[in-house]
Structure 1
Amino acid sequence: MEHADSGTLSDLTALRDQVSKFLMRYRFGVAEVETKLNILREEFSLVDGYNPIESISVRVKTLESVLEKAARKGVELDLDAIKSGLSDIAGVRVICSFVSDVYRIVELLTSQDDITVLEVKDYIANPKPNGYRSLHVILEVPVFLSGGPEQVRVEVQFRTIAMDFWASLEHKTYYKYDTQVPQHLIDGLTEAADAASHLDETMERLHHEVRDYAPPERTIGV
């Protein structure tokens, strides 16, 4: 009995270490992407005097969340199968000031030589029926470990401030009602999505007008 318990404990310890190393790679992956974005952010601030990135947040799913997502998608509960079957274990969210900034940062990030773009979902150009707007990029970034480089898959979401505000409200609403949201609230969220889109367009127009404004030259009287 003691031998069985000892063997079970050893197996559990080995499994825990295996899972820790598995998730560790994703933590390193989001760190790599975050570093690249912070470099762009600082460069814009220093060179252009304007920072198109308002904020950056990162997360790696917990083991429980990974297993739940795998089961929901019918992915075999095996680390290799999960690695190839799930694309959002590691996530980065980038909040930009304006829609044009979103596309500018996406282009600069994805054009880097060590970034491999696997998939792009543009819900800004093609919003979801519920009004959700965001740009998702699934990419692979190399993580350099002691045993050599490994490609890690990371999902990066790009939004404006208005898009993020709406998405946060929508998520809280569906969580509160356990997805059984009353129709009048769904209609309200759709209306709010349209308002957020209009706000983005208006703010972008004002931004360009201010940026392009050239004050008249002052004349000094004799």
Structure 2
Amino acid sequence: MSVLMRWAASVVLLFGLAGGVHAEMTVSQSNDPDGSIDVHMTALLGQERVAIGSLDAEAIAAVATASSGNGKARGKPVMSYDAAWLAQLPRPEASKELECLAEALYFEARGESIKGQAAVAEVILNRVDSPAFPKSVCGVVNQGGDGGCQFSYTCDGRAEVISEPEAWKRSAKIAGAMLGGAPRLLTEGATFFHTPMVTPRWSKRFELTARIGSHLFYRPPLRTALN
């Protein structure tokens, strides 16, 4: 890797540590395509200096090690999504958001693997982060639309009865881990999913990001100034 490429990688990592980088960027009409490159570069370098100044020596050393390729990134949790991973998870702290997420995993995906349920949780949390959806887990889970519900169990006319205690405990643990900040590594930012038994109209326009268990995961196509 060239010195320039290593420096560029270091800058990105520094921004991430200092809160200067967003996980995702959407190019839209709100961007200024005619903006001066010189102006943007000057602003970028200024942000870089601020980012570097906000880091301590240990953080800077860690970035240097990662960018040099001489060491492996440390501190990133290994997500195995298996029984051992589930067993070491702490008992989740009760909250309304946990209850809503656990119910969604239980009623929508309790027949799925741990990985499959975590993927469904990703979709729900990705929706919470998206301006196109309600800003809470309960709001996302209970959202209506197009004469129905986003999650069928919420409006099927039947009471939500937990009849499988062990399956409920598993869903609650997964929900707690995802709400607690477990990385969303499975669906690449998906905000929609469906089973292969149906073919929603939107699935032909959206980008397929993953297939996990009996669910296909999608995200809307990137919108740019040209479309």
Q: TM-score, normalised by structure 1?
A: 0.22
**Which structure has greater helix proportion?**
1
> Larger C-alpha radius of gyration, 1 or 2?
1
Identify the structure with the greater strand proportion. 1
Q: Please, what TM-score do these two structures have when normalized by structure 2?
A: 0.22
Higher relative contact order (CA 8 A, sep 6+): 2
